[in-house]
Amino acid sequence: MSKASRRKDTADILNQQRKDRKKFFAARRQQVSGVGPTQFGSTTINKGDGFSIAGPNFNIDFGTGSPNAGGMFVGSIGVNPNIKTISGGKITMASFLETPTSYVLVNGESAAADDLVYIISKNTDILGNSSGDQGAIMSGQLLFLQAKDANITLKHNTGNIFIPGGSDLTLNKYDSSANTGGAYAILMWDDQNIGASSGRWVLVSSGASTSGTWVGTATSDLNMGTYDITNLCRLEFDPAGSTLANTTAGIDATADEMHFNVPVGDDFKFTVNGTEEFVFKSNELDVKENDICNVGTIFTDYIAVSSGNSMIKSVGHFDPFGGDTYDLGDATNYWRHLYISGDIHFKDGDDAEIKKLSTGLEYEVATGDYHRFQVNNVTKFQVGATSCSMDGGMIIGSADGAEIGYKVDNQALTVGSVGSMIHPYLESTTNHSTGTNSTLDGYFGNLDGAVGIQYDSSESAGSGKYRIWIRANGGWYKAESY
């Protein structure tokens, strides 16, 4: 081919492109002026490509909607599908020389579940220049949006999508193996009401599995996808169910139990207004200093499944509900051992108590009271502030056959092999007179039968050095020992 021929072919191509461009803008001006779509040659359908030019027969259809004066459709309504992938939370439905379709199948970025924040119809003008993101090309524009190969979450009011329910909406992908998913949403572009300032794609309807409803019995598990079940009136369990895995937090019911479970390390916490009131742990119940009321019988070690851990522990006071009202045990049910490290106090108004001291026990009563030891409700021994007394007929003697001793002074005593009796003993050089003698009453006692021993170092044996005094008939009488 000669150079001239090539120049002619190039010129023809450029000339044809100029003619096509003029026809294109002429048709566009007619549409904007409201005259309506202009068709050259045979009528074509409105394709997603916007228009087509084929040979000498120009088939151009610039209709972006019905005429302003209205009209009617005859036959079925259909739209061309388009597949778009989310990029940075956004899809753009059409580019230069494309008309946005009303049916878009959405894939997640990197073929994974994704969030959709912005829906953009176009971002270029008819000349291919950037026009900025346009949510829609007209008010009331409808969009059928469907999840394709990944779950797509429409984000509420984060970008230009508005969900009337106030929460995000997840469209589940189509699962051919389970014949589920492929959820869709129908949205309308609203730049008059909700999005009056900048426009919003408002959810009109959805077939999302996360927001669908059942009529009758469900045929599959309900996966809420981290969403809540609200306004629940009653919850009934089927006792024919199976137990959840040990590592699962949940509730299940079987034929003989209602099973509440949390994994190892977790607790059951019961709160009121956000404050913990009761906490069930793996080995304890923490009632957070609250009361446990109207309790029947508490078994610490159920006999049928005895574990050996039959013990009640308290880290605080263990008080009865009413003072001087309730017993610890009863006439037929007894506590066995009582282990204490402090004192035992008795309610009589006089601070009677048994005290634990480092050297032993101390029994305390108020002045005027007594310690009484009884057998069969008869006092056998009594200790008061100034005296100790025994019941008549009582004998003080050895209980096991070994010798005993008694003494009236405070000196140390070694009991003799046949027993010991230590009588009142006086060392004095005074030669006391017999008969009535108040001084001897003061030494040995003022009642008949009192005895005492006097040692007088100033006298010689047989002359008053060793005297045994006996009180009888109101007077004192002595005998010499040598």
Q: What is the pLDDT of residues 440-458, one digit of tens each?
A: 999 999 999 999 999 999 9
- The answer, yes or no, to whether residue 303 has pLDDT greater than 60, is no
pLDDT at 156: 94
Q: What is the DSSP letter of 401?
A: S
The predicted-structure confidence for 75-110, as pLDDT tens digits, reads as follows: 777 778 899 999 999 999 887 667 788 899 999 998
Question: How much is the pTM?
Answer: 0.38
Segment 268-282 mean pLDDT? 92
* Spatial separation of the C-alpha atoms in residues 222 and 209, rounded to whole Å: 9
Furthest-apart CA pair in the chain: how many Å?
180
Mean pLDDT of the chain: 81
- The answer, yes or no, to whether residue 31 has pLDDT greater than 80, is no
- The answer, yes or no, to whether residue 119 has pLDDT greater than 80, is yes
Please report, as a single letter, which amino acid is at residue 230: T
Instruction: Name the token pair of 396.
Output: 């003080």
Contact 468, 479 (CB under 8 A): yes
Contact 82, 48 (CB under 8 A): yes
pLDDT at 97: 63
Residue 50's pLDDT band, with cuts at 50, 70 and 90, is very low
Segment 107-128 mean pLDDT? 88
Q: What is the DSSP letter of 244?
A: P
- The answer, yes or no, to whether residue 48 has pLDDT greater than 50, is no
* Spatial separation of the C-alpha atoms in residues 477 and 468, rounded to whole Å: 8
* Spatial separation of the C-alpha atoms in residues 158 and 73, rounded to whole Å: 36
Higher pLDDT, 387 or 319: 387
pLDDT at 71: 60
Instruction: Name the token pair of 421.
Output: 């009796």
Segment 176-196 mean pLDDT? 88
Contact 227, 238 (CB under 8 A): no
Contact 111, 150 (CB under 8 A): yes
- The answer, yes or no, to whether residue 38 has pLDDT greater than 50, is no
Highest mean pLDDT among 213-222, 330-339, 355-364, 447-456: 447-456
pLDDT at 45: 40
Range with the poorest average pLDDT among 346-360, 426-440, 444-458? 346-360
Highest mean pLDDT among 78-82, 139-143, 319-323: 139-143
Segment 2-24 mean pLDDT? 67
Range with the poorest average pLDDT among 67-76, 161-170, 174-183? 67-76
Contact 25, 60 (CB under 8 A): no
- The answer, yes or no, to whether residue 187 has pLDDT greater than 90, is yes
- The answer, yes or no, to whether residue 40 has pLDDT greater than 70, is no
Which whole-number Å values give the CA distances from 241 to 108, 234, 244, 250, in the listed order?
37, 18, 9, 13
Segment 184-203 mean pLDDT? 92
Contact 197, 157 (CB under 8 A): no
pLDDT at 216: 57
pLDDT at 155: 95
pLDDT at 398: 84
Helix (H, G, I), strand (E, B) or coil at 226: coil
- The answer, yes or no, to whether residue 62 has pLDDT greater than 60, is no
Higher pLDDT, 64 or 195: 195
pLDDT at 19: 75
Sign of the CA dihedral 454, 455, 456, 462? positive
Helix (H, G, I), strand (E, B) or coil at 402: coil
> CA torsion 209→212→218→219, rounded to 10°?
-30
Residue 30's pLDDT band, with cuts at 50, 70 and 90, is low
pLDDT at 56: 44
pLDDT at 6: 54
* Long-range contacts, stretch 384-387, CB < 8 angstroms, 24+ apart: none
pLDDT at 42: 39
% residues pLDDT > 70 (the chain)? 79
- The answer, yes or no, to whether residue 210 has pLDDT greater than 80, is no
Instruction: Name the token pair of 292.
Output: 């446990």
> CA Rg, the chain, in Å?
55
pLDDT at 153: 93
Residue burial 274-306, b: 16+ Cβ < 10 Å; e: rest = eeeeeeeeeeeeeeeeeeeeeeeeeeeeeeeee
Please report, as a single letter, which amino acid is at residue 351: D
- The answer, yes or no, to whether residue 28 has pLDDT greater than 80, is no
Which whole-number Å values give the CA distances from 400 to 248, 275, 361, 397, 403, in the listed order?
69, 66, 25, 9, 9
Q: How far apart are the first and last CA of the chain?
A: 174
Instruction: Name the token pair of 478.
Output: 């002595």
Helices (H), 325-462: 438-444
Segment 362-381 mean pLDDT? 89
Highest mean pLDDT among 15-19, 62-66, 105-109, 363-367: 105-109
Segment 2-31 mean pLDDT? 64
